[in-house]
Chains A and B, each alone.
Chain A
């Protein structure tokens, strides 16, 4: 009992500086943003009213949600396949999977975005190759549009989707799978009716992480979207730095943070934080 208590005290003490840092570096300045949203350019709820009527803000919000949803589905599916190989494959397969997961982690988001431009543009590798084999006559519009944004974001987010899935798959009791097989279930049926449902918490956690991350993307849509796929972070940038219309920019930020907060609350109802790592 004594050691349990002192453990908790020790943990709290170790966590304290981090908590203090988060409050000072994020929460406190964010209160200033909240204040702007109610005071600039004139005090009142005007900026929140504008949010409901401004069609640029609305169309950008809808686009952001749509892109985030598509990116989430694609990333989680791809990550699921990679994670199965990583957790349950042969040693050689695991090595390849680790390589695929970790290498993108070490490359900057900017480099990766420009890499995709080089691959996907009109005279990029993919279009050149497709034209060379006679598959297409005109280059496909693969980048500087929403498609390019989705490809770039998915590529960035797959590693983040892998970890919650890996955690769920590792904590799965193998004997359950053996039991299913022993009772005559086929490999496919075991996978779909036993393995997948039992990793549900990993799927939810992974989807939530990817979705929340997607909402805040800035660089990738700015480069791969070609100005046509403005997402919410870039709209905030535009309002704060280009326009500069701080009140509305702040109001958009507050709504975004609230939205993410609600999502996280929902997530933690279904998934324990430790399952996410």
Chain B
């Protein structure tokens, strides 16, 4: 409804009131309705008219069906906008390519917040509209200018409990101690978590971890190389190195750790101690085909605790909205990376550090592990 039609509606109402067809009180009520309804109707003819579809790009696998079940279908029901899931992996380079093409086909991306900081500075992302997305429905410190956290996962130690018996590792020092815990290890191929693990093992206190002392971390990693059987590049690979016994201890995503525990019949266990908490976030591409407002509304709708609970059940994602914690049944709290009991044992990755240093650090890391 445009301003003109609104004016006409009120004019006709006042004419009716003048003729005594409706009472004065009815007139004010109806006029208020017309005025209140207008902004919403305006939006529906504006942004919504062009946005009948949003494309959300995530990391694929089970995430495609889970995102659809938790967020996509409900959003379509509420707004009439279909949400298509694309599992092709929104790496920083891929998002950058979408933006530079000048005609992005993606709307929302499940992005690493540090990539969002870099991409936002390049102008590739829309700033998050915190009038639509509620900052209070996020854990403090996990909403950024260009990305809003929607879940958490963690890099944690998983280990072969049969091999180590009652002696469970208690932190990164044990991970790097092959005398006390003999056997092969597996680390992440793309560096994230390996630097922190090496420094924690080398005796740096969690509070003074950042900025990372890369030289020291790389020395530690280089000296440890012969104990590493494989550097895994994806979740499935991290599961298989533990399940087929190639590694006796590995730093893996918490979302996979509970699956590994299940698949091994409890033989492979995991700990939260010195786990490295990492937020997952949604960001909106600049000039996205579905419209900025629709995308922001989608992010706001994904803050719903019930929906985040579905993601926890399906993928083990720690909820971004603290209100979800209370909905998680007691026996499942153990596998929630941001459950208060688990969270206090862990350390959050510093996204600003990663935004500035990741590229160069990864080069150096790759050089060392593949030398």
Contact = CB atoms under 8 A, between A and B. Distances in A.
A97 B189 CA distance: 39
A229 interface: yes
Interface residues of B, number: 27
A44 B167 CA distance: 58
The size bracket of the interface on A is 20 to 34
Interface in B48-105: 91-94, 96
Interface stretch (A54-62, A77-85, A202-210, A251-259): A54-62
A227 B221 CA distance: 14
A244 B246 CA distance: 31
Contact of B366 (A121, A122, A230): A230
A238 B369 contact: no
B94 A238 contact: no
Given A242-B91, A244-B96, A246-B93, A229 B237 contact: no
A242 B240 contact: no
A121 B370 contact: no
A117 B240 contact: yes
A85 B93 CA distance: 48
B245 interface: yes
A240 interface: yes
B359 A245 contact: yes
Contact of B370 (A118, A227, A240, A244): A227
A223 B241 CA distance: 11
A226 interface: yes
Interface in A71-91: none
Contacts of B229: 122, 144, 226
Contacts of B233: 222, 227
Nearest to A249: B93
A242 B93 CA distance: 6
- CB-CB nearest 7 A-B residue pairs: A227-B231, A244-B93, A226-B230, A241-B93, A241-B91, A243-B359, A227-B189
18 contacts: A56-B363, A56-B366, A117-B244, A121-B245, A122-B229, A122-B245, A122-B246, A123-B245, A144-B246, A226-B229, A226-B231, A228-B230, A228-B369, A235-B366, A238-B366, A242-B362, A244-B96, A244-B359
